[in-house]
Structures are given as C-alpha cells and as structure tokens.
Structure 1
Amino acid sequence: MDSVFVSNPRNNYSVPHDIIIDILTQLPVKSLIRFKGVCKSWYSLIKDDNFIKQHYDTHQNCQKYFVVCRRHKISTHYTMELDSNSIASLVAPPVPIDQSRKAFNEIQYCSCNGILLITYANDIIIMWNPATRESRRIPKCKSGGLYNFCYFPRIESYKIFRLGPVVFNGDKDEMDIDIFSTKSNKWKTVGIFPPDYYFEGTSIVMSDGIVYMMAERKENENCTILRFCLDKEEFQEELLFPNTIPSEIHVVGEKLCLIGSLMSNHKIHEFWLYMMKTNSWNKILAIRLPSKSCLKPLSFIKDGGIMFKNYMSKYVFKAYNSTTHKLEKVNVAGLEGHNFKEVVTYVETLSSPFL
C-alpha cells in the first residue's frame, strides 16, 4: 500500500494512502485548494478525476444555497449553508455577473455537478464554480430562450440545452432545440419543439440527463410532461404522472419533483418524486397551504425534512418538519429586508467548467 511520509520533531511515520484520501474527502473545497501546495503527491491527488468524484459524492448531502438578493435597487449575491440552528451563514463571493439593470431582471440560474450555469438577458452565458471561483464564458447561441445543462461522465463533457425562438422565422410558435458541448465548444441545432404541443411554464428542468418540460396537448388541452434525452439528443415518450392536478415541476435531491393538487381539494398540495430507475412516482408530501403561499422545493434536509422557498411571504425560507408535520420559518441572519430574486442549490465541487 502506498504511504505518505510525514515528519514531526519527535518521530517520522508514514500514513497509508487510503487514510489520506478518506481525510481529504471530508474537507471543504477551500481547504483542499490550500493543501495543493503541501506536496506534489497531494497536488496530483486533489486534481485527480476519481478523487474529485469521491469528494463530490461524500458531500452530496451538504447542500449549499446560492442566493440572489436585491435591496434599494442594488443586487447582492451570497452562498449560504444552514446550520443546526436554522441560521444561515453568509459569504459574498466574487460572482462573474453582469450588474446592468437590463440583464439582472432576466438572468437564469441552474446548477449541476457543483457548477452553476448563469445566462443573461443579453445572451452572455457563463459556467461558474462558486467553490473554486473558476468561470468559463460560453459562446453565444441565438437570442433568448430557456437553458439548462448536465454533466456526462462517459464523455467527460457538459451539455447545455437551449429551447428558444427560431431566428428569422415568421412562425412565432416554433422553437428550436440547440445543444452545446463543452468538449467541442460548439452549438448545434438538433430539432424543434414538437408541433403538437404548447409549451407551458417559464422554465425547463434537468434530472438524470433528461430534460423535462411541462406542455399541453393541442388536440385535447390536457397537461403532460415531455422528456428529451440529452445523451441521445432525442425526445422520449411522454412521462405519465399520478392522478393529481399538475402545476409545476422542479428538481429536489437531483430528482424530478412534480407539484400538484388534489382533485377533490385544491388547497391540498402534493409533492411527488420521480424515480427514474423504477419508472415510478413516490409521494413525499401532502400539505394544506394558505391561499397566499407559493412554495418551491429546494432540497432535502436532515430527518426527512424539506427546505422551501416561499414566493409570497417575507419569510422566504421555510422548512417542512417531518416530526411535527408543519412548515417552520427559517431565520436568515443578515438578509432582513432583502428582496430575494433567486435561490439555487448546489454541492461544493473541485470540478472545473473547462471540461
């Protein structure tokens, strides 16, 4: 077994390589960046793809939140981690962001594999690692559209998905599907949005390499969920969902989450999680919400709870307590009076956007 030689004033001893790995994988990214300078072997280890994956997997349950706030027409950006007392510690990172008023109002954010994809209204696209502060400018595609992305270990590349209006086309309802590969550093058009459907909603979501889109069938006006496989770059069959009135789709714990309401009582909101491996839905929560509540699930928290963002309350963050079966407000020290524009969850990673 390989060992690392460590010396101190009293004696010399070697630490087994696997123990070194176990220790380092528990550390935050900021510490690992500093430790690159300890020795050549540590530098090589921390840059190793297998170690980067092991470190990411170890921290999968350590969700962080990237928060975009606005106060007195000034935008601020934070990373946040909830501690055991439900108090958030805040850090203002140097975000590669366009501060212009025009761009700020229409910025899109999504995350994958610890990397954030930030898309501006002026068609500037950036991949950014909030832990290492490394960023990559993506070539401009067409004007406007909705974006999301996913990492594919098999080809060691990210793919960015764009759904947006066709350029120089008189049909306003027709939308192109474009894909960008970080390996080729090029965009390509792979098709159009199916003409038998109307696109519903204001966003697209990504889970397990599949793009999910809410849509309405033109023939009968029924709501459905369309699936696009980003790996094969083709549409799949519609995704059947439970007997509920669908309203929104999100991603929680890297799984597709459907929000619906009971047929018999629209005040009871249901949250369903899609399990791709078994092609089944699991209802994780059913709760009665006040008329002015609008909850977006963000992540799972300890003891089976769920963290939400509430769009219609001054207490923006609320946590579902699985023991009391109630929603509890979450105090965010230092953000009182701020207007929350966006909240994105991510896991710290050493991964680079330059793949």
Structure 2
Amino acid sequence: MSDNIPYDIQVDILKKLPVKSLIQFRSICKAWKSLVDSADFVKHYRGQMQHLLVSYYEHSYSFGRKYVSIADDDTFPQKKVPLTNPMSLNNPRLIGTSHGLLCLYSYSDDMVVIWNLCIRKVVAVVLYNVEHDAGSWDYLGFGVCRETNDPKIIRITSVTWCDINGLSYVPWQVEVFPLSTGAWRTPFSTNFPSKSIYFRFENYDQVVIDGVHYWLANDISCNLIFSFDMTREEFSEINLPDGLAHKSDYTLSMSKLRESLVVLDRDDDEMVFVVWMMEDGVSKTFTKPFTINYNTPDALYFVLGFRKTGEAIIEGRRQLFVYEPYSKHIKNFGIDGKYYDFFVHSYMETLILLDQPNLRVFN
C-alpha cells in the first residue's frame, strides 16, 4: 500500500478486507502486522462476508461429524470448504456462535472449545467435575462481550438432593469463565434463574445474538425464553406470545434471522412452520412475518437456520434444502447425511483469538 495514502485511510481499507487477506498482509511488513495484531484493530474489525457452517454425519457415527463452511453470497452454495474437527473432539455439541466464534462442548472429553474458523485457531477449557450427593445438570452458554470482545462461557448447575421428605433443591450455582482471565468466577449479577425453570439444551433450543445467549425453557406453567447477557452478566426472562407459551414445547425450536431471534412452531394441522420473530430487544414484541409449508414432495422435516437473504435451510430425506418462503421455491443444497443429525449455523469473519496460542488449553 502506497506511503502516500494517509494512515487512517489505510486502516479503513484494511478493515474492509476479508480475514484471509489480512493474515497474508501480516507477513508483508512489521507495520501492518503490528496494526492487524493490535487490540483496537481486532476489536473494531467486522468482516463483510457471512458464512454458514454445516455439520452432519455423512454415513455412520463411527466416521465422525463432518464440518463444511459455505460462503453465503451470490455463489451460494458452490464455495464449500471442509473443516477439521477441532482437537478431535468426541461427538461435540454446539453451545453457540457469537462474533464469528463457535463454541463446542464434548461431554465425554469434559471440554469446551472456542473455535475461530477463519483463522483456524482453537482454545479449550477443561470443565472441572462438581461432586454432589445426588444428580446434577449443567447448562452451558457462550457469548462475546460487546464492549471488550472478551469471549465468555457461562455454566449453570442445577442440583437435586434426595432426603427423607422426598426431593428438594439447592439454589442454582452459576459461574462465568472470561477468556481474558482464564479462571471461573461468580458473575456480577445475583438474579440467578428460578429453581423451577428447566432449560432445553439441544442445538435448536438455544441461540446467541449480539453477545446474549438465549435458551428455550419452561417452568411449571408455561414455555418461555431465558437469556444471559455476557456484557452486563445478567439473566432475563422473555415471555412468549400466548399461542406459544402454552403449547407442547416439543413443537418449538429457536433460530436467528438477520440477528433477530426467531421461534419456530411446527403446526401439524396446517402442515407449516410458523415463524415468530422478536422485533424489539426491549419490548420483546413478536410478529409472524411468514410461514414455511412442509407439505411438499421433498418431505421437509426441520428448519435448521436461515441465510442472510431470508431463505430457510431445511432438512428433509437425508438431504438439505433451501426454501424461499415467499415464492415457496425449493432447491437441493447438495449435501447428504443421516436423519436428524444436520445442524446449520451462520457466522461472520472475525480476528478474535488472533492473540491466543493455537490449541491452548485452560485446565
């Protein structure tokens, strides 16, 4: 880049480049490497390109889960890049995606992994075991602080004790792991979840938007959404519309569409998925922008996510399909796999973790 171009303009130009180009430019000169590596540049860099990560089992579980990244642009779905299972995790489950990072959890490895797919960097956190006299359930969440770009993991432990009077409960145990400190601590807030709330923790029951982790949950009387803000470190409850609050929770799932929270309701009477979108993060107003008809020759089973265009990615007959909700046009995605084992997650390019040693493990 010419020395005649003012430094501020050079910085603005670099911020518009894809991550792959930035990594290459770091090796050209020390000044550019110092700029790209700086905390301020990493914090304010926002990649222009959205990608979709597709994970699935191709044939059998013994071959391991496959990962493919697909550019979500005009070439979709032609640009497919295969990715390697980070740290060879055993049957990992996605916890969430935030600010271009993916968070995976492997129960058998007792490990949480934070993965930047663009720069191919991984850090891991080994979960310590909590000993109890009776059963316990861990709920994990993930997000990146909006102010500091610090990735955080939250661990919520629910404990049930048995005594002579039957079952009783102890309060929720909540801890936060900021990557910047490398240690678990109690969050700033004390408004912990009610012990009567049950979190659903499948991949399609949780989503992360702008550093806030949302869980689909229910209590004794109704369905609701529970959230944890990684910046304020506060819990919140979101009431669902009456049409969703008292339905069987097995018909509900969650996703995101253009950084808006979406609740999907499978209506078997009408043979449609009803899309409920949260319009306002403050008033929590839900609207129904469209429905998705699944009574088609392709036997569409489950909505997995959305492209930035608004097209739905749907599983059906061991394949993925792209569904345009207004024209109702359907086309094959070009990936085959096992039933009910597809997952699709959108992510943007980021430089977060650039300052971390690759494969670093926090014990």
Normalising by structure 2, what TM-score?
Answer: 0.76
- RMSD between aligned residues: 3.3
Partner of 2:228: 228
- Unmatched segments (≥5 aa) in structure 2: 131-136, 246-251, 357-363
What residue in structure 2 maps to residue 11 of structure 1? none
CA distance in 1, matches of 2:168, 2:330: 44
2:150 to 157, 171, 174: 157
User: Is the deviation greater in 125-134 or in 207-216?
Assistant: 207-216
Map of 2:292 onto structure 1 = 287
**How far does residue 138 in structure 1 lie from its aligned partner after superposition?**
1.3
Q: Secondary structure at 1:63's aligned position in 2?
A: strand
Residues 252 and 297 in structure 1, CA contact (< 8 A), matched pair in contact too: no
The answer as to whether partners of 1:63 and 1:299 remain within 8 angstroms in 2 is no
Aligned-pair CA distance for 1:109: 4.5
Pair 176,66 (structure 1): closer, same or farther in 2 beyond 3 Å: farther
Judge which range, 113-122 or 291-300, deviates more. 291-300
> In 1, are the aligned partners of 2:37 and 2:354 still within 8 Å (CA)?
no
Alignment of 1:190-201 (within 5 A): 193-200=193-200
Identity %: 20
| 1:34 is the counterpart of 2:24 | yes
Deviation at residue 261 of structure 1 after TM alignment: 5.5
Aligned equivalent of 1:348? 349
Structure 1 residues 134 and 4, CA gap change in structure 2 (3 angstroms): same
SS in 2 for 1:46: helix
For residue 307 of structure 1, what is the amino acid of its counterpart? A
Give secondary structure in 1 for the equivalent of 2:32: helix
The whole-number CA distance in structure 2 between the counterparts of 1:169 and 1:187 is 24
State whether residues 317 and 329 of structure 1, in contact with CA within 8 Å, keep that contact through their aligned partners in structure 2: yes
CA offsets 1:103-145 (integer angstroms, 9 cap, x no match): 31x5334211111112111211111111111111213244763
Cα offsets for 1:284-333 (capped at 9, x unmatched): 3223322953333423333xx323232x43331323254x2x1412332x
Matched letter for residue 35 of structure 1: F
Match of 2:126 among 134, 139, 156: 139
Q: 1:84 Cα shift? A: 2.7
What secondary structure sits across from 2:292 in the alignment? strand
Change (3 A) 1:138 1:18: same
Flag the 1:330–1:49 CA change in 2: closer, same or farther, 3 A. farther
For 1:183, what is the secondary structure of its paired residue?
Answer: coil
Report what 1:185 is aligned to: 182
> Where in structure 2 are the equivalents of 1:156-175 lying within 5 Å?
156-166=149-159, 169-170=161-162
Q: 1:210 aligns with which of 200, 208, 212?
A: 212
Distance 1:139 1:90 in 2: 31
Deviation per residue, 1:25-65 (Å, 9 max, x gap): 33221121111122222112212344334431x51x52332
Provide, for residues 3-27 of structure 1, a one-character-per-residue CA deviation record: whole Å limited to 9, x for no partner: 942xxxxxxxx22334433433332
Matched residues in 2 for 1:156 and 1:91: separation? 26
Cα pair distance change 1:172/1:215, threshold 3 Å: farther
* In structure 2, distance between residues paired with 1:188 and 1:273: 34
